[in-house]
Amino acid sequence: MADPNDTRDTGPRVGSPLWAYLAAVITTGFIVLAVAPWLIGSEQLAGLVRSPLFWMLTVLVVLGELRPVMLSSSMTVGGTYPSTMFVFAALLHYGLPVAVLAQAVGIVVNAAVTRRAWHRIMFNIAQATLACAAAGAVLGVVGGRRASGVPWVPEGNDMPAIVLAGLAYFGVRALLVSGAVALHERRSIHRVIRTTIGHQSLVYTGLLGLAPLVVVVMNHSPALVPLFVAPMAAVYFTATLSVRRDHQATHDGLTGLPNRKMLVVSTEEALAEARPGERVGLLLLDLDRFKEVNDTLGHPVGDRLLQIVAHRLTHSVRPGDVVARLGGDEFAVLLPSVRDAAAAREVAARLRVALTEPVRLEGMTFDLDASVGIALHPDHAPDFELLMQRSDVAMYLAKEGRTGVEIYVADKDRNSPERLNLLGDLRRAIDRSELRLHYQPKLDLVGGQVRGVEALLRWRHPERGMISPGEFVPMAEQSYLMHLLTQYVIDAALEQAARWWRAGLREQISVNVSARDLLDSALPERLGAGLAHYRLPPKAIQLEVTERVLMTDQAYTADAVRALAALGVQLALDDFGTGYSSLVRLQRLPVSEVKIDASFVRRIVESKDDERIVRSIVDLVRSLGLRSVAEGVESDEVAARLADMGCELAQGWLFAEPMSAADATVWLSEHRDPSASGLGLLRPAKAL
């Protein structure tokens, strides 16, 4: 039941507040420990060495240091060791020197068994020594034990002094340990004490309360002292079973990390303790492509990979941060105190760096990566549920945009009430055929002939007026509506193409589809049925996809893409230059046309860099035997520069604005004669 989040063995940074605190406690404690042997007379020392009772008590102290009594798996300062009872008994009976030396021996043996870090060993010895010294001082001042060299047996009237000594012992240990934990985890010492004092006080009351009885039994019948081990063993095993059940309820069985239940408790505590101006951060982390490992190599390998991920995450966060596993390949990291969004992003970046180190399993090397979403209190949410929801929104934005890390932004939250209402309105608009297609021509830059039109979706909301496609299309892509919207647009485009072809306007219509729709195996069948229904050839329609599809390996093997090629429907790559793909990858897709993004085209006259980019794209597209189309052409100078580069086609407001079907029909009819549609005769379109 080791806690993967326990980073107390990590040494403090030299010069830090924790380092200074530990140094002060250790120095003071070891001074007291160094003085202790000098307080034992030679005769008493010889008597102790010959006494079986002394050795029996020392052995019980050592055994009591091996395993702590745990009442809760979530306690910050750990458990309480049964050795406390025998150390306090040694303090009462033999005095301070014997007690602190026996305690030090027990802690050293415990350290050898558990392999703790040296600073923890020295601190534990020091804080136990100081607690014994405080208790011994109380006994000497208030009453009871007077001389350290004479064995002492308490009587009834000594109980007030013993109680005060026990309180001093418990108070010093609790304060010293809580102070170290508070500095280590950057938490308030009041919060640490409040969280742990209840469990600790119960156990200490029982152990310290039995110590006088141990002394009495030692004095009358030493052979009966080991009998105290039996009830202690019963308490230990009962507590262990309780803690195990508690641990199973609040921790993940595979990785040992806290689960969602424990994360809720930890987050609520952090929110309750947050001070004005202080933020609490929740990071949601999802592994990329983990399903492929499970499906390919099986769940055992996937489980081992998750354990490695858990280990890396817990060793990449700050002390006091909580790493939890929510299920599957999803993890959460709670930052109880974080300066601002930039600091939270730094933690997220550090986590991703830790995960990107290659993992070797089953003779194979895995490259891991993750998408991380961040939400902060009070900036983004007031409670745990909203923090979780909004970090989840940010995480999916990071995954969809391949950005790695995203911080929650309300405007991008598709689950906000406003966006959900808009989604419902969009569904009704599709059902009622309230969406309209406008058409923008593409022209040959040399001869001026029309080479097709692009269908652009328009939505006039009955209450909100005209809504930009940039607002509702991304929302549809993240919902169940995208397939319906794509089918609606394709049906409307085919219907309009049929009207134009019957009127002798045989222009190809380009329709934008998402990468997900392109990979839909039902798309070629629906498209083929539509072409047959309207008696149109495959060249009447063209599908445009953004260059993000080049980053999807499925696009090169998908049956849908091959079926579209077999059907004769051409593909165009839209907004090229805004992503991270390369033109070399175009050779693996049946693309016939590449559209250069308007953000580059508009600045080719003013910007040498943009001119070089556009010229390079045009040259490479031509070398691959594809057509290049420039988007966003708005001036004669830009059009002339593109023609000089060898760009074949262009579209933009210089030639025509997006028009309704009726206006586009008139415009196309007027420009059917190539001799009447030379480039020089075209005029800038009237602004909307």
Quickly state the pLDDT bin for 681 (edges 50, 70, 90): very low
pLDDT score at 631: 93
pLDDT, tens digit, 9 for 90 and up, residues 375-396 = 998 888 888 888 888 888 888 8
Instruction: Say whether pLDDT at 649 is over 90.
Output: yes
The Cβ of residue 1 has, within 10 Å, a number of other Cβ atoms equal to: 12
Percent of the chain topping pLDDT 70: 84
Alpha carbons 240 and 233: distance in angstroms, whole number: 10
Instruction: Say whether pLDDT at 18 is over 90.
Output: no
Instruction: Say whether pLDDT at 361 is over 90.
Output: no
Alpha carbons 604 and 643: distance in angstroms, whole number: 12
Tokens found for residue 112? 């050898």
Please check whether residue 632 is in contact with residue 647, taking contact to mean a CB–CB distance below 8 angstroms.
Answer: no
Q: Between 372 and 157, name the one with better pLDDT.
A: 372
- pLDDT (average), residues 344-373: 82
pLDDT score at 584: 54
Give the lowest-confidence range in 52-56, 67-71, 154-158, 288-292: 67-71
Please check whether residue 296 is in contact with residue 362, taking contact to mean a CB–CB distance below 8 angstroms.
Answer: no
- pLDDT (average), residues 35-52: 71
Average pLDDT taken over every residue of the chain: 81
pLDDT, tens digit, 9 for 90 and up, residues 547-584 = 666 545 445 445 778 888 889 998 888 877 654 445 55
Instruction: Say whether pLDDT at 658 is over 80.
Output: yes
Quickly state the pLDDT bin for 435 (edges 50, 70, 90): very high
Tokens found for residue 79? 């458990």
Please check whether residue 257 is in contact with residue 4, taking contact to mean a CB–CB distance below 8 angstroms.
Answer: yes
Quickly state the pLDDT bin for 147 (edges 50, 70, 90): low
pLDDT score at 552: 52
pLDDT, tens digit, 9 for 90 and up, residues 84-109 = 888 888 888 888 888 888 888 888 88
Quote the pTM value. 0.53
| Burial of 156: CB neighbours in 10 Å, binned 0-12, 13-18, 19+ | exposed
Identify residue 496 by its one-letter amino acid code: Q
- pLDDT (average), residues 471-481: 77
Instruction: Say whether pLDDT at 673 is over 60.
Output: no
The Cβ of residue 565 has, within 10 Å, a number of other Cβ atoms equal to: 15
Q: Between 231 and 683, name the one with better pLDDT.
A: 231
E strand intervals along 47-132: none
Quickly state the pLDDT bin for 500 (edges 50, 70, 90): very high
SS3 of residue 685 by DSSP: coil
Instruction: Say whether pLDDT at 486 is over 80.
Output: yes
pLDDT, tens digit, 9 for 90 and up, residues 225-247 = 777 777 767 766 766 666 677 66
Q: Between 305 and 37, name the one with better pLDDT.
A: 305
Alpha carbons 584 and 564: distance in angstroms, whole number: 21
Whole-number CA gyration radius for the chain: 38
Residue 664 belongs to what H/E stretch?
helix 661-670
Q: Between 473 and 245, name the one with better pLDDT.
A: 473
Q: Between 160 and 417, name the one with better pLDDT.
A: 160
- pLDDT (average), residues 499-524: 88
Residues 6+ apart with CB under 8 A from 149: 40, 41, 44, 95
Q: Between 624 and 226, name the one with better pLDDT.
A: 624
Quickly state the pLDDT bin for 538 (edges 50, 70, 90): very high
